[in-house]
């Protein structure tokens, strides 16, 4: 996207966790990157595993070198899990995560050509557009 191009609007695409629950890691990353390549911002219910996040970064790096105009992604996760939870609460949360995946989080991923920066503080997320 050249500097002269101005964004008139953005598309936010919501992906419920059920849409990726049955996919393997490769499938999840592929699905998300496909939407991002369409210049849409993904709002995913839940979050990827740390391994999937690093896979997303690796695939993104490969794409930067091979897809003209693609500069990468901006990514942020807001989680409902507080770092000050008791051990019992952490156990319950871990159990729920093991059973149904980590759904009490929201992941936002946008193409870097549209999303300039995502600044996350523990309780808020600022999304700066280009």
Q: 38: how many CB neighbours lie within 10 A of its CB?
A: 11
Does 43 bind other proteins (CB under 8 A)? Our answer is no
CB of 112 to other proteins, least distance (A): 4
Considering only 54, 92, 96, 128, the residue that binds other proteins (CB under 8 A) is 54
CA 1 to chain centre: 21
Q: Which is nearer to other proteins, 19 or 57 (CB)?
A: 57
CB of 120 to other proteins, least distance (A): 5
Token pair belonging to 95 = 């159990």
Count of positions on this chain that bind other proteins (CB under 8 A):
26
Q: 106: how many CB neighbours lie within 10 A of its CB?
A: 17
CB of 20 to other proteins, least distance (A): 17
Strand, coil or helix: 63 = helix
For residues 95 and 108, give the distance between their C-alpha atoms in angstroms, rounded to a whole number: 24
Q: How many residues does the chain have?
A: 130
Applying the rule CB under 8 A, the residues between 64 and 83 that interact with other proteins are: 64-65, 71-77, 83
Q: Which is nearer to other proteins, 22 or 83 (CB)?
A: 83
- 47 by Cβ neighbours in 10 Å (0-12 / 13-18 / 19+) ranks as buried
Considering only 7, 37, 62, 129, the residue that binds other proteins (CB under 8 A) is 62
Angle, helices 25-37/50-66, rounded to nearest 10 degrees: 40
Contacting residues toward other proteins, per CB under 8 A: 49-51, 53-54, 57-58, 60-62, 64-65, 71-77, 83, 112, 118-122
């Amino acid at each position: 996207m050249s500097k002269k191009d101005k964004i008139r609007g953005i598309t936010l695409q919501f992906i419920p966790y059920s849409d990726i629950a049955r996919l393997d890691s490769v499938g999840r990353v592929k699905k998300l990157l496909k939407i991002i390549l369409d210049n849409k911002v993904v709002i995913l219910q839940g979050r990827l595993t740390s391994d999937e996040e690093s896979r997303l970064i690796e695939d993104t790096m490969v794409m930067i070198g091979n897809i003209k105009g693609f500069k990468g992604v901006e990514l942020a996760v807001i989680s409902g899990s507080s770092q000050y939870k008791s051990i019992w609460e952490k156990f319950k949360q871990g159990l729920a995560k093991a059973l149904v995946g980590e759904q009490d989080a929201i992941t936002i991923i946008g193409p870097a050509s549209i999303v300039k920066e995502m600044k996350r503080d523990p309780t808020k997320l600022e999304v700066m557009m280009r």
